[in-house]
Amino acid sequence: MSALPQLKALGDPIPDRDHAISVHFPTWDDVRDYGAGKPRVANALQNGYPRSHLHKYNQALFAKCGREFVAPSEELVLFSDYQTAEDCKIFITSQRVHSANAANPRDVLLVLVEFNKAQDASSAEDILFIPRLYGVVHPAEFRKVKMTFWRLTGTGISSRLAEFCLRKDFTITRVSEPPLKQPPPAELPVYDTIRKRVAEFLNRAPTNPGRAQRAKSDDVYLYPSGIAAIYHVHHALPKWRDSDIMMLGFPYELTIKMIEAMNVPHRFLSAGTEGDIDELERLLVEKSRKGQKIQSVWCECPNNPMLRTSNLKRVRKLANQYDFTFVVDDTIGSFANVDVIDVADIVVTSLSKYFNGFADVLAGSIFLNSNFPHYPELKNAFNAEYTNNLYLADAMRLELNSRGYLERFTQQNNTASAVVDFLCPYTSDAKSTLATVYYPKVCWSKTNYQYVMRPATEDFTPGYGGFLSVDFDTVAAASAFFDSLPFYKGPSFGADIPISIPYVQLVLQQEKTWASSHGLSETLVRISVGMVEKHSMLECVKKALQAADATRNA
């Protein structure tokens, strides 16, 4: 993409693709009102991020199946496997999570929906189609709770799977007891192709060419979303050690709520600074004196949306000394730019972002690192519970899209870096409303990022990522800047299209005070540069900054 996109109306899918994973919010007020739950915006949505908004195909499938089984006062939601449906029921009926507002377990049913294969099935999709889904039938009043589970876990069925199921006849029956464990269905080579591709990118241009073990494709696990990968790590790790976890650096709001819902003991160390790691070390020393160990430390590389990178090398040393697992989410740096295999026991990646690159597939992966001593135990824990629920048509689209990963990322690295170079001088200009630019190369943690930055090769020169965040003195300036950007406006990043969003207004509207206490301002705007030509991007940002600065004299 070289030209700027043709803008859409409030609630339209972005990009303009049938299985788009984002939605357009043209103005700051639209985002703010959506975050606040205002019907004006909610009722206008024709699409949304699939974990937060049911796609039209999902809605149609759930309604179609529900007509055969569900009472008018009930609703149905479908998942790809029994265990996830059971987890959803447990969540909806949990008095620990919802107190007196929990559903009565007698009112929540599990059902099996079996779809019929066509007699003349010929396509790979027909032949290998999973003919059964598991549903949760619940009172309609618990719709919001059900959607919280859908959003927190990312384990719901995809819009492509729903679209395919809509073309099939089916039978639906109540599940009275867990089904017998069945062997996994046969997989087409596309899954192995994706696993091998992920492993190849994990291995290319290593920061440590002499490391003992290279990434192997059978240590890559695929999931239907990045957050589903995280959810299943939280499921698997207690099988290895059921103890405290620590989150280092500003975490995703979803991860916090997920582990609270799962009743996982945790501690949040907000900034990921050396001071925070000092605190982590003090906690580890204290527990060691008591003969206790934590389970894991989690962080992003770098984190979202402030793009700070913790001292991963130091955390690895603590993991070796105090015997815990180190989980690193490399989605934002992306494995084209960063190599975390020398520090992380487990690497979590949202493949929906840069790897897919077209904002039309949700997918995620986990890599188990055989270079560290707990690998055999972790491997057993993951294998014991793993089910590949990445739907075939999504895998096929992901494989196709990811072929141009390095080529796209080269341009995005360069464009984002140029925008940062343009904006940074304004942060020290008293006449400008621009307060801060967040990007790894201009951050206090630059050396931490560079520690895991891959060396350049003939086919790719690593950079600092394809999005940046900017912060302003006032809400008026931030909103003027955002409204003036001729970009798509919505969630997600890493696509071929430019996408901008005021992060707190969308994600943490109800937790602004909490976010502010951890240094995250409601005036922050995140910009994913997409594949727009560099000069056009700079012109757009320049005009938007002029609009922001004009608010000072308004």
What residue spans of 44-141 are helical by DSSP H? 56-69, 82-92, 95-98, 124-127
d(CA 459, CA 402): 16
CA separation, residue 230 to residues 298, 301, 343, 511 (Å): 10, 15, 18, 22
Q: Identify the CATH number of the domain defined by range 404-551.
A: 3.90.1150.10
pLDDT, residue 366, reads: 98
pLDDT, residue 524, reads: 97
468's tokens? 């940046």
Average pLDDT, the chain: 91
- Return the HEC string of 131-146: CEEEEEEEEHHHHHHH
180's tokens? 């017998």
d(CA 533, CA 299): 32
Judging by DSSP bridges, how do beta strands 325-329 and 364-368 pair with one another? Answer: unpaired
The model's pLDDT over 359-379, given as tens digits with 9 standing for 90+, comes to 999 999 999 999 999 999 999
Alpha carbons within 13 angstroms on the beta-carbon side of residue 442 total 19
Measure the CA angle with vertex 111, ends 110 and 114; round to 5°: 155
Whether residue 302 has a cis bond before it, omega within 30° of 0: yes
**To 10 degrees, the CA torsion angle through 110, 221, 20, 49?**
60
* Side chain identity, residue 365: S
Per domain, the residue ranges of the chain are 50-174, 189-397, 404-551
pLDDT, residue 271, reads: 59
pTM for the model stands at: 0.95
Q: Which residues pair with residue 76 across a beta bridge?
A: 137
The residue-averaged pLDDT of 454-466 equals 96
Answer yes or no: same fold for 189-397 and 404-551.
no
Q: Which CATH class is domain 189-397?
A: alpha beta
Task: Give the residue, 187 or 108, on which the prediction is more confident.
Answer: 108
CA separation, residue 371 to residues 81, 176, 269, 344, 440 (Å): 32, 44, 27, 9, 27
d(CA 264, CA 380): 21
The model's pLDDT over 504-518, given as tens digits with 9 standing for 90+, comes to 998 888 778 877 877
Residues 117/63, Cβ–Cβ less than 8 Å: no
Alpha carbons within 13 angstroms on the beta-carbon side of residue 53 total 25
* Side chain identity, residue 466: G
